[in-house]
């Protein structure tokens, strides 16, 4: 397996777009969830949303899924973490949402042949306010994605740490919600606000939105506290919690400063292994159609 991964990355680094990779194909038979849009959201800051969006998108792309990563956070961490920077007048998600510029116009390639990026920069900060008076303001991103999403197997939207209009746009556009939870004492603090927002969006904007999974991040299994928090989260979200957990890993923290997903930075690290496992777990839901995401948020949360 290790050898397979290394083999893949060597190809990915050198290969042109679309060149065959030697990832074990049998693990990644194509499924039927074409263009599934997944919002990665949690209004709590620093829980691993962007790290998950980058590395899950990259791991799925390594498995030859066609993936689009959309940066809906004015911090632009998804953009810089994939090695791209805001350059002068280059259009970004801001122009897509506010000026209704076609998403197609802002798409950028990445170092992985099957992964494209819709970049953002600080301009997007203004969008939260500028969206307020606009017609159908909650559906701007959904409308923009409609023309593009069917070309991809997965679209990930990296949300900012708030429940403002950018996150609402992401939730209105998505079929699935992926919630990263940092394994610490206050992991579930504020989760009821997210669940309330989810129900409101389901009621008013997007009845089809489901929780695709809750992901435990920055896990240090050696500590009792982590074990307790993991048990509490599993009790709360039941089968919605991904079996795969993401360990705390120095290499995962370093990779964005080199503008690389972990599998192009250190394929042998525990972090790379974890996100490749997560990609496999997500792809295993393809065969189940709506998969484990078919359940509504837990009552009373
Ligand atoms: P924000 O709410 O500000 O958008 P976020 O939820 O997107 O934050 P990240 O930016 O992914 O969170 O992660 C926060 C910090 O923790 C970053 O410096 C990141 O590199 C680091 N980090 C994320 N996951 C891990 C991990 N598993 N192990 C070690 N460091 C991690
Ligand atoms: Mg982020």
* For residues 219-229, average pLDDT: 90
- For 193, phi then psi, to 5°, come to -65, -40
Dist CA 261 CA 278 (whole Å): 14
Dist CA 246 CA 215 (whole Å): 8
Give the SS3 label for residue 69: strand
* For residues 115-131, average pLDDT: 95
Identify whether the C-beta of residue 78 lies closer than 8 Å to the C-beta of residue 161: no
Report pLDDT digits (tens) over 168-182.
999 999 999 999 999
Instruction: State the pLDDT at residue 87.
Output: 67
Complete DSSP assignment for 108-123: EE-SSTTEEEE---GG
* Nearest ligand by distance to the CA of 161: 1
Nearest CA to ligand 1 atom 9: 48
Residue 137: how many CA atoms within 13 Å on its side-chain side?
13
Q: Which residues, chain by chain, have CB under 5 Å from ion ligand 2?
A: 49-50, 77
> Which range (7-16, 30-39, 121-130, 269-278) has the least confidence?
7-16
pTM: 0.87
Q: Which residues of 102-123 are buried (b: 16+ CB within 10 A; e: fewer)?
A: ebeebeeebbbbbbbbbbbbeb
Q: How confident is the model at residue 147 (pLDDT cuts 50, 70, 90)?
A: very high
Instruction: Tell me if 253 CB under 6 Å of ligand 1.
Output: yes
Count of residues making up the chain: 301
Dist CA 273 CA 255 (whole Å): 14
Structure tokens at 27: 């693990």
Q: In terms of Cα–Cα distance, which of 257, 242, 281 is closest to 51?
A: 257
Instruction: State the pLDDT at residue 45.
Output: 95
Residue whose pair of structure tokens reads 């042109």 in the numeric block: 16
Run of H or E residues at 218 = none
Q: How confident is the model at residue 184 (pLDDT cuts 50, 70, 90)?
A: confident
Helix axes 165-173, 191-204, angle to 10 degrees: 60
- The minimum-distance atom of ligand 1 relative to the CA of 160 is 4
Residue to probe by mutation, ligand 1, list 51, 266, 274, most atoms within 8 Å of CB: 51
Listed by start position, the domains of the chain span: 2-292
The correct CATH number of 2-292 out of 3.90.700.10, 3.40.50.2300, 3.90.550.10, 3.40.50.300 is: 3.40.50.300
Report pLDDT digits (tens) over 25-58.
333 334 445 689 999 999 999 999 999 999 999 9
Identify whether the C-beta of residue 78 lies closer than 8 Å to the C-beta of residue 50: yes
Residue to probe by mutation, ligand 1, list 45, 50, 125, most atoms within 8 Å of CB: 50
Nearest CA to ligand 1 atom 19: 253
Per-residue DSSP letter, 87: -
Dist CA 169 CA 154 (whole Å): 17
Identify whether the C-beta of residue 49 lies closer than 8 Å to the C-beta of residue 186: no
Instruction: State the pLDDT at residue 286.
Output: 80
| Average pLDDT along the chain | 86
- For 14, phi then psi, to 5°, come to -95, -30
């Amino acid at each position: 397996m290790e050898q397979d991964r290394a083999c893949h990355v060597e190809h990915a680094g050198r290969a042109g777009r679309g060149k065959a990779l030697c990832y074990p194909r049998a693990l990644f038979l194509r499924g039927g969830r074409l263009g599934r849009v997944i919002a990665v959201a949690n209004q709590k800051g620093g829980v691993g949303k962007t790290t998950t969006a980058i590395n899950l998108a990259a791991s799925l792309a390594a498995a030859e899924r066609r993936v689009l990563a959309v940066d809906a956070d004015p911090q632009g961490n998804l953009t810089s973490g994939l090695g791209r920077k805001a350059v002068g007048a280059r259009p970004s998600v801001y122009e897509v949402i506010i000026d209704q510029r076609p998403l197609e116009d802002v798409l950028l390639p990445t170092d992985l042949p099957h992964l494209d990026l819709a970049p953002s920069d600080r301009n997007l900060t203004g969008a939260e306010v500028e969206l307020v008076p606009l017609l159908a303001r909650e559906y701007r991103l959904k409308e923009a994605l409609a023309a593009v999403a069917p070309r991809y197997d997965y679209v990930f939207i990296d949300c900012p740490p708030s429940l403002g209009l950018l996150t609402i746009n992401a939730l209105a556009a998505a079929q699935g919600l992926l919630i990263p939870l940092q394994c610490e004492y206050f992991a579930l603090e504020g989760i009821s606000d997210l669940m309330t927002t989810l129900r409101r969006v389901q009621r008013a904007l997007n009845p089809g939105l489901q929780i695709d999974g809750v992901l435990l991040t920055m896990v240090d299994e050696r500590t009792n506290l982590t074990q307790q928090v993991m048990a509490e989260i599993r009790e709360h979200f039941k089968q919605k919690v991904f079996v795969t957990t993401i360990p705390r890993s120095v290499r995962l923290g370093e990779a964005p400063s080199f503008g690389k997903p972990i599998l192009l930075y250190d394929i042998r690290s525990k972090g790379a292994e974890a996100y490749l496992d997560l990609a496999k777990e997500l792809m295993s839901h393809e065969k189940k159609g709506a998969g484990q995401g078919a359940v509504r948020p837990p009552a009373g949360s």
